[in-house]
Amino acid sequence: MHKKTVAEILLGLFVAVFLAIIYFFACIGIWQMIKTKQTLMMLFLLGSAGYFALISGIISYARYRLPSIPFYILLASVGIVWWLNRKKSLDNSH
């Protein structure tokens, strides 16, 4: 039986938190792209990410899904920019 080291556990937690943040803001970015009618760009990014997720196949090796991460990060960047601008507009209104 192989036990994980503290470094492996911390790295796994870091990756899990990073991906949770990316997916959270990607959902916000998708919602904002729908609201601002940028659906063509959103569909391109989702289609590209979906392509890499689907080519991994049934076995689903992580190394084949890895190229889809930049497309999720681009979607997340839309959500992060919206979040930061929203916070600025709240500060300016007071």
* pLDDT higher than threshold 90 for residue 49: no
The domain limits of the chain are 22-93
**Mean pLDDT, residues 71-77:** 93
User: Per-residue pLDDT tens for 15-47?
Assistant: 999 999 999 999 999 999 999 999 999 999 999
Residue 13 host element (H or E): helix 6-35
Residue 61, both tokens: 């090796």
- Of the candidates 44, 45, 53, 54, the one whose C-alpha atom is nearest the C-alpha of residue 26 is 45
pTM of the predicted model as reported, rounded to 2 decimal places: 0.80
d(CA 32, CA 14) in angstroms, rounded, equals 27
